[in-house]
Structure 1
Amino acid sequence: MTMISYPPKPSPGDRVAVISPGAGLPGLFPQPFELGLKRLREDFGLEPVEYPATRTMGSTPQQRADDIHAAFADPDVKAVIASIGGDDQITVLPYLDRELIRANPKPFFGMSDNTNLLMFLRNTGIVAYHGGSVMVELGRPGAMNPQTADSLRAALFTSGAYILSPAERWNDINRDWADPATFDSEAELRPADPWSWVNADRVVEGRTWGGCLEILGWLLMADREIAHDLTEYDGGVLLLETSEEMPSGEEVFRTLRNMGERGLLQRFSALLMGRAKTWSFERPTSPEEAAEYAAEQRAAVERAMKAYAPDTMIVFDVDFGHTDPQLVIPYGGTVRVDGPARRITVTY
């Protein structure tokens, strides 16, 4: 079993690294990036430090690995935050120096394609944080979502228990970052369905693992950062959420089925399933189509879990994925899922 520990937290006034381990999208869309940096300075009291590949589209895996190493090795940098995700961070993993990073543990914040780095850090013995990217959460048009801001602040600066709260209103419809008018106002929120509980007759507590389902599938295919001794995951809490690529219900089922065939699904004491992202620029759904997509995804998850892990506790529509608000979840850290009380408590 990997020994995992929480790295020291930053304090207001500290320097934090801002890197692009996935894609240098700050170079294409500077407005949400600059807004996110401004909020890091003014709202969180932190001083962001950029690295050579942060705004560089098409940077090589080696260049991105160099930025990761520089961020972790710098003693004046107290945390590392991803600008955004991407789709090829898996190619960076072979270039990472595990011993350098293990010797310089720091909190890392990111999600989506950063599932790669989150899993690498967990296997290195470092608790990281799923959520809190600069362009999406910090650079949200109008203002940060209050729930996101509160969760991120607690994860950045505090240690101990934090109770997650379901969103009352939410959004997953994006606006064009290339249009300056996008940033004049907040996106409209709509009423959120409450979290939905299955097998909620017990209390479980375990260390988290998982992430963006599409990225997780790629890691499984490449056999990267997946423990060969599956007892590593016994009693853990599985985190799964899907991206703006909106995989079909059948694709979701097949990925989970294959995890079941590998013996993974059966290991976890609970599954937290993120609220489904139901709209994208490539697939601008109507409200009816969005509801149908979300229902199809839930049915796919239930079908796979019934086949491979029928007794696992499941909580659907938890607000930690590609939707707004976004609650920060410790990755490799402890989560307590209290079925009878309908409460999820994370340890930051």
Structure 2
Amino acid sequence: MTTITYPPKPSPGDRVAVISPSAGLPGLFPLPYELGLERLREEFELEPVEYPATRKMGSTPAERAADIHAAFADPGIKAVFASIGGDDQITVLPLLDRELIRANPKPFFGLSDNTNLLAYLRNTGIVGYHGASVMVELGRPAAMHPQTADSLRAALFTPGPYELRPAERWNDVDRDWADPATFDEEPGGRPGSGWSWVNADRVVEGRTWGGCLEILAGLLMADLEIARDPAEYDGDVLILETSEEMPSAEEVFRTLRNMGERGLLGRFSALLMARPKTWSLERPTSPEEGVRYAAEQRGAVLRAMRAYAPGATIVFDVDFGHTDPQVVLPYGGTVRVDGPSRRVTVTY
């Protein structure tokens, strides 16, 4: 069984790395990126340090691995932030030096394609942090969402328990990052409906594993960063979210079914399922289509969980995915899911 520990936390005034382990999108869309850097400096009092591939589109896996190594090896860097996700971080994993990273544990923040690195860190014995990419959450138009900012501040600086709350309002409709007018006003929003619970008659606590479902499917197919013994996940809490690619309900079911057939799904005591993103610039949907998409995804998740993990507690619509606001979850850290009181508490 892997021993997993929390890395030391930074303090205001510290230097933090900003890297692009997946795509160098800061080079294409400087507006949200520069805004995110400014907020790291002004709102969190951290000094961001960029690396050679951070703004480079088309960087090689070796270049990105070198940035990861440099960020973790530098004793003056106290945390590491991903600029954004992408789609090929899996090609970086075989190039990483596990002993170098294990010897220099640091908090790493990222999501989506950064599920690859989060899973790698957990297997290395280091708690990571799912959420808070520089371009999206820190670079949000007008201002950071207060719920996102509060969660990130706690994850960065305050060890101990932090209770999650359902968002009163949420949004998944994006605007064009290339248009300066995008950053003049707050994103829109719609009323939240709270969390939905299944098997809420118990209290469970465990370490988290999971992330972006599409990325997990790739790791499962490549057989990378998945525990050889499924018992490694016994009693843990599965966290899952889907991206702006908006996978079909059938694709979601099949991925979970395959996890079940591998002997993984039934190991988890609880599942936190993020509110799905139901709209994207490439696939704009009507409100009715969005509601239908979310309902179909929920049905697919329930279908798989009833087949392979019928006793697990499930909480739907937790705000940690590709929607706004976005709370930070410790990856490999502890989550307490209290069904009778309908409370979820993470440990940062």
TM-score, length basis structure 1 = 1.00
Following TM superposition, by how much is the alpha carbon of 1:192 offset from its aligned partner in structure 2, in angstroms? 1.2
Paired residue for 2:336?
336
Paired residue for 1:43?
43
The correspondence of residues 1-40 of structure 1 with structure 2, limited to 5 A, is 1-40=1-40
The correspondence of residues 1-348 of structure 1 with structure 2, limited to 5 A, is 1-348=1-348
Q: What CA distance in whole angstroms lies between the structure 2 residues aligned with 1:202 and 1:117?
A: 32
TM-align CA RMSD: 0.4
Q: What CA distance in whole angstroms lies between the structure 1 residues aligned with 2:90 and 2:280?
A: 23
Q: What CA distance in whole angstroms lies between the structure 1 residues aligned with 2:166 and 2:42?
A: 27
SS of aligned partner of 1:174 = coil
Following TM superposition, by how much is the alpha carbon of 1:301 offset from its aligned partner in structure 2, in angstroms? 0.2
Q: What CA distance in whole angstroms lies between the structure 1 residues aligned with 2:55 and 2:193?
A: 37
Q: What CA distance in whole angstroms lies between the structure 2 residues aligned with 1:318 and 1:143?
A: 21
Following TM superposition, by how much is the alpha carbon of 1:282 offset from its aligned partner in structure 2, in angstroms? 1.4
Q: Which amino acid is the alignment partner of residue 343 of structure 2?
A: R
Structure 1: 5+ residue runs without aligned partners? Answer: none
Q: Which amino acid is the alignment partner of residue 275 of structure 2?
A: R
How big is each residue's C-alpha offset from its partner over 1:128-155, in whole Å with a ceiling of 9 and x where there is no partner? 0000100000000010000000000000
How big is each residue's C-alpha offset from its partner over 1:144-192, in whole Å with a ceiling of 9 and x where there is no partner? 0000000000000010000001101000000000001000011111101
Structure 1 outlier segments of 4+, above 4 Å: none
Q: What CA distance in whole angstroms lies between the structure 2 residues aligned with 1:16 and 1:201?
A: 42
Q: What CA distance in whole angstroms lies between the structure 2 residues aligned with 1:54 and 1:205?
A: 37
Q: What CA distance in whole angstroms lies between the structure 1 residues aligned with 2:53 and 2:272?
A: 33
Q: Which amino acid is the alignment partner of residue 121 of structure 1?
A: L
Q: What CA distance in whole angstroms lies between the structure 2 residues aligned with 1:204 and 1:188?
A: 35
Q: What CA distance in whole angstroms lies between the structure 2 residues aligned with 1:20 and 1:273?
A: 26
Q: Which amino acid is the alignment partner of residue 227 of structure 2?
A: A
Q: What CA distance in whole angstroms lies between the structure 1 residues aligned with 2:188 and 2:278?
A: 15
SS of aligned partner of 1:201 = coil
Following TM superposition, by how much is the alpha carbon of 1:95 offset from its aligned partner in structure 2, in angstroms? 0.5
Q: Which amino acid is the alignment partner of residue 198 of structure 1?
A: V
> How many residues end up aligned between the 2 structures?
348
SS of aligned partner of 1:102 = helix
Q: What CA distance in whole angstroms lies between the structure 1 residues aligned with 2:192 and 2:58?
A: 38
Structure 2: 5+ residue runs without aligned partners? Answer: none
Following TM superposition, by how much is the alpha carbon of 1:272 offset from its aligned partner in structure 2, in angstroms? 0.2
TM-score, length basis structure 2 = 1.00
- Paired-residue identity, %: 82
Q: What CA distance in whole angstroms lies between the structure 1 residues aligned with 2:36 and 2:137?
A: 8
Following TM superposition, by how much is the alpha carbon of 1:232 offset from its aligned partner in structure 2, in angstroms? 0.5
